[in-house]
Structure 1
């Protein structure tokens, strides 16, 4: 399955099969893609996403009975210093059994928020995590499926950005605007490196934290930053941003759907 290239300021489209058994990583070299330079932990702000995807929320986490109160994981990505990235480094089958113990945690903190990548995507043939393309390119640092997802979860819990912002008085609310510089400075002070923010219509949509291969914080860079000298987060965010809330319709039980899908796969 072909990968869909991302555009600056837009979100990645998760379309490629994930498979991280050790032999599959040799395809990184075979496809002519060099080893990545650093990790990006991409986090989504549900209030911004769900306002745009409420019409299809019966197939995603935006319809849960209670609104998601915190950042959720979008992905753990592998990037190059020049702003480009490797992707789809393997086309082997994804083995859901390897992450069975992680499923409840993934559904809570790494749910699908989009219409096109629900937990029961592609006709119910697999959970949407099976289409996370970036893990296939994380070799040799990460060498299997379980390690990929558990590493992403570990970085997420260690760097609780929702708590960091709340402690600074930057709260989810409809109407309150916060200076972009204050938000970036608050995150940088707690994280130890400069993040990258992506906004949509003046609201925070995505927060990216960058790490060296040993998982120590590093400043985020993009190709446009290097070529145009643009300061971080200024390319898509205004001087004042919001962290909106949303009213869920309470139509979906994403965790139940995911576990039922897994049961169906194991029985088959």
Structure 2
């Protein structure tokens, strides 16, 4: 067994608790099905320019409220998934110990910030910080390693896809830029013509692979509203904490109603 596969086997026991993420909870709600061995990992990345443009209320933990706007993809999670479009979740009771990830706290704040003010849902009806639906040091270290190794912002830039409020890019060009640099087709979630989330997929040895490749899943995706033919990577003006009302964001509670899904 390769070192990467051993690491993946350890990671999946922890990553299986990934469920009910704040803001996008409808996209990763717990699945009430018998659990089986997962098929692949998905590294989910958020585009702050799309999410933060809708920020109306600020809090200290919301990365959208920083004085300097975020201009790169940030991490949403590293998740085990099934080829049929579902995922395992909430497989065991677990207590999140923040002390175990203190060595990574600075990187997590910078590259894995919450973009919301509401508390993240954890398994079994708990609430906690944005990271509490995940589990501890090796999991977060591996996710950060994949994030830095496969820098999506750089991949797109190398393909001529730049951050811009007014510039539109062909969806096919965005997909091709990722496929050329990464070696597999990404999964893209859009909102109002802008990229909201982009996912890179990996096999159990953490090698790049296509996202959602089975016939059943492709048929499901085709029934959804796709991203438009031309999409954007917008910037945003931060609503800094000093001007906030301390309210709780609710704009993204109904994710399925507002987002569209595309996979090549």
The TM-score, its normalising length taken from structure 2, stands at: 0.73
Q: Note closer, same or farther for the CA distance 1:245–1:158 as it changes in structure 2 (3 Å cut).
A: same
- Contact 1:172 / 1:243 at 8 angstroms: preserved in 2? yes
1:94 equivalenced with 2:96 (yes/no): yes
Q: Matches of 1:225 and 1:34 in 2, distance apart? A: 18
**Pick aligned residue for 2:109 from 107, 110, 130:** 107
Q: Secondary structure at the match of 1:175?
A: strand
Q: Deviations over 1:114-140 (max 9, x none)?
A: 23247xxxxxx85321133xx5xxxxx
* Distance apart, 1:247 and its partner CA: 0.6
Runs of 4+ in 1 over 6 A off after TM superposition: none
Q: Secondary structure at the match of 1:242?
A: strand
Consecutive unaligned residues of structure 1, counting only runs of 5 or more, are: 16-30, 119-124, 136-144, 253-268
Partner of 1:236: 226
Q: Deviations over 1:185-225 (max 9, x none)?
A: 00000000111111000000000000001000010007886
- Contact 2:43 / 2:79 at 8 angstroms: preserved in 1? yes
After TM superposition, list the pairs within 5 Å mapping 1:56-205 onto structure 2.
56=58, 58-117=60-119, 126-132=128-134, 145-205=136-196
Partner of 2:51: 49
Q: Matches of 1:69 and 1:82 in 2, distance apart? A: 33
Consecutive unaligned residues of structure 2, counting only runs of 5 or more, are: 1-16, 121-126, 243-264
Q: Secondary structure at the match of 1:210?
A: strand
Alignment RMSD, CA only?
Answer: 3.0
The TM-score, its normalising length taken from structure 1, stands at: 0.72
Aligned length: 216
